[in-house]
Amino acid sequence: MVRKMSGEAWKMFMAIVGVFLFAAAFRIFLVPLNLYSGGFTGVAQIILVILQGLFHITFPAGIDFTGIFLWLLNLPLFFLAWKIVSRTFFIKTIITVFLQSFFMSVIPAPAKPIIQDTLTCCLAGGVISGFGVGLTLKYGSSGGGSDIVGIYCAKRFPDFSVGKLTILLNAAIYAFSAVHHNLETAIYSMVFCYVSGIVMDRVHYQNIMTCATIITREPSICDSIIRDLNRGCTTWIGQGGYLKQPAHIIMTVISKYESRSLKRLVHQTDPGAFITFNDKMEIDGNFEKRFDA
């Protein structure tokens, strides 16, 4: 029990680190350049711009109300987080979204960009932002907004990912930035978004599918995969080319995150088993993506 609690505490800590990195990238890299973030953060920025520019509403200095609007936008999505994943994911998401909104409101933004070259600043900020979001997702939570909607779509549509939804939502946000500001602002914002989306999908292992082929003398490994990993598998009988002895060939498709558990499971049953992994693959069909790490 203590070990389990310790593991959950570590996951929660890493998820919080992730939202802190995202908030830091937003405040340190995007705000000084007057660029737009993606997802619901970008929507919150647009709301703030409209309230200030169109309705001439003033807000207290020293607090970025983007984070507050982001929290309000996420309130109706918390129910979706409970429904599509789990109660644990729901609780973690409330905590991380609140802290992310808090960090975005209080982390000081530099008066001038810390990197003079705008493109380099976008690339650096995109990497940090994407790593932070991916880290939060990897450890069983989310930053809310498009993360929750993206997880819902990924579970319903196997060929979908959180990063893809982020890019689609950002198209509308950056169209607004091009009209309200200029095309250069929109282009640099898109660069930030694109880099962030790619890094996020690389860090968030659940979006990387891998095909594992196991050659073993223990057919019970297939039962263990079904029981312990809750993944299906296909088996057939083969023969070793050198010793001409029969062997069981087992093929299964898992997420990259589950590959460590698969290795441990296989080698506990058969230390001499041979496993190959193929990561660069496309899955079409009934493959469940999981997000509660």
Can you read off the two tokens belonging to residue 123?
A: 């690339």
pLDDT at 77: 82
| Domain map (residue ranges) of the chain | 2-206, 208-278
pLDDT at 288: 63
Tell me which architecture the domain covering 208-278 has in CATH: 2-Layer Sandwich (3.30)
Per-residue pLDDT of the chain (293 residues; tens, 9 = 90+): 444 546 788 889 999 999 999 999 999 999 999 999 988 899 999 999 999 887 888 888 777 889 999 999 998 888 777 777 677 778 888 999 999 999 999 999 998 999 999 999 999 999 999 999 989 988 888 888 876 777 677 666 666 665 567 677 878 898 999 998 999 999 999 899 889 888 987 887 655 678 899 999 999 999 999 998 888 899 999 988 888 888 999 999 887 778 888 999 999 999 989 999 887 666 655 566 655 54
pLDDT at 19: 95
pLDDT at 286: 59
Confirm whether pTM is higher than 0.85. Answer: no
Task: Give the distance from CA 83 to its chain's centroid.
Answer: 18
Positive or negative, the CA dihedral 116, 119, 125, 127 is negative
pLDDT at 204: 74
For residues 146 and 283, what is the distance between their CA atoms, to the nearest angstrom? 23
Residue corresponding to tokens 């380099």: 120
Can you read off the two tokens belonging to residue 38?
A: 């993606």
Can you read off the two tokens belonging to residue 137?
A: 């997702």
Alpha-carbon separation of residue 141 from 93, 145, 182, 254 (angstroms): 5, 12, 35, 20
pLDDT at 127: 96
For residues 255 and 158, what is the distance between their CA atoms, to the nearest angstrom? 12
